[in-house]
Amino acid sequence: MSDDFSDPVKRALASRVGNLCSNPECRALTSGPQDDPAKAVNLGVAAHITAASPGGPRYDAELLPEERSAPSNGLWLCQNCAKLVDNDAVRFGVDLLLRWKGTAEADARNRVGKTAASGSAPGVNLQDGIRVRIEPIVPRRFERTEWLVQSNSGNAFVFQKTDSMATVEIPVSFIENVHRFRDNAPALVQLDGRLQWISVGQRWLVLSEKPQPGPHNEHGYSKFVDFDYPRRMAYTGEFAWCREDRLAECLSRGRYIFYDEDGKYLRVPGPDIDQILVSSRP
């Protein structure tokens, strides 16, 4: 049996990415007018990130049927790209598809309500191979590291962190400003949003809110959980809870703030002061 998406889920998936294919190399518009003035064509497909039935691409037996047909398991693609990703489940793995989804949704969130002129970011001029710094990044200490412009698809740039193999794709619509400097200084890329480290999955995501001003600026956004949360979420690693007033000390001893899937760090309210989850690796 097959756990297909309902029509409301399909419509939501399409709308959440502005009816554009989520493949960053494609970004085809998936809807348009028909000859009948009351009708529209739809060339989009609500693709399954993990397959709807056993034997399908990226099938995950651990998921419940309702999780397989939930919006979180869906990705809006044009018909061509939907075939592509289902014909090669190795090249187009779950992590890659989740990254496409995150970037496409972030791009739509960033463009919604803006005029075509402001969304097209005509001033972004970054050649492949040049060095840049990016801001804002959470945690802010990463604003001192350098990235290389690896490629440019016209809609998005791929940056590679020079001290690791990590890459991130940033839609052009997210780039607010590029400052070029004289001599050999790296260019400064300023985002209308933020680049965020996610500890779960060890990856970078582009998110729409900028870091808040104030004392917690350095570490971005937090959310309240309970002490059992990391176990319940089956997060593995060496974790510790650190009092907020001793956070600087914890970090100086080689601990890192742990960031959840949504880019938020975790705090448990205490009687006098909150405790923050830290991990032994970044």
Positions touching Zn ion (CB under 5 A) are 21, 23, 26, 28, 78, 81
Which residue in this structure is represented by tokens 């490629």?
A: 151
Q: Which residue number, 103 or 196, has a Cβ lying nearer to Zn ion?
A: 103
Q: How far is the CB of 70 from Zn ion (least distance, A)?
A: 23
Closest by CA to 147, choosing from 122, 165, 124, 123, is 165
Give the whole-angstrom CA distance, residue 51 versus residue 68. Answer: 7
Q: Which residue number, 44 or 193, has a Cβ lying nearer to Zn ion?
A: 44
Q: Which residue number, 84 or 240, has a Cβ lying nearer to Zn ion?
A: 84
Q: How far is the CB of 85 from Zn ion (least distance, A)?
A: 9
Q: How far is the CB of 84 from Zn ion (least distance, A)?
A: 8
Q: How far is the CB of 83 from Zn ion (least distance, A)?
A: 10
Q: Which residue number, 16 or 243, has a Cβ lying nearer to Zn ion?
A: 16
Q: Which residue number, 48 or 255, has a Cβ lying nearer to Zn ion?
A: 48
Q: Which residue number, 79 or 145, has a Cβ lying nearer to Zn ion?
A: 79
Q: How far is the CB of 23 from Zn ion (least distance, A)?
A: 5
Q: How far is the CB of 81 from Zn ion (least distance, A)?
A: 3
Q: Which residue number, 78 or 97, has a Cβ lying nearer to Zn ion?
A: 78
Q: How far is the CB of 77 from Zn ion (least distance, A)?
A: 5
DSSP structure string for the chain: ---PPPHHHHHHHHHHTTTB-S-TTT--B-EEE-SSTT-EEE-EEEEESS-SSTTSTT--TTS-HHHHTSGGGEEEEEHHHHHHHHH-TTTS-HHHHHHHHHHHHHHHHHHTT--HHHHS-TT----TT-EEEEEEEESGGGGGS-EEEEEE-SSEEEEEETTSS-EEEEEGGGEEEEE--STTPPEEEEEEEEEEEETTTTEEEEESSPPPSSTTGGG--EEE--TTHHHHTT--S-EEEEEGGGHHHHHHTT-EE-B-TTS-EEEE--SSS-EEEEES--
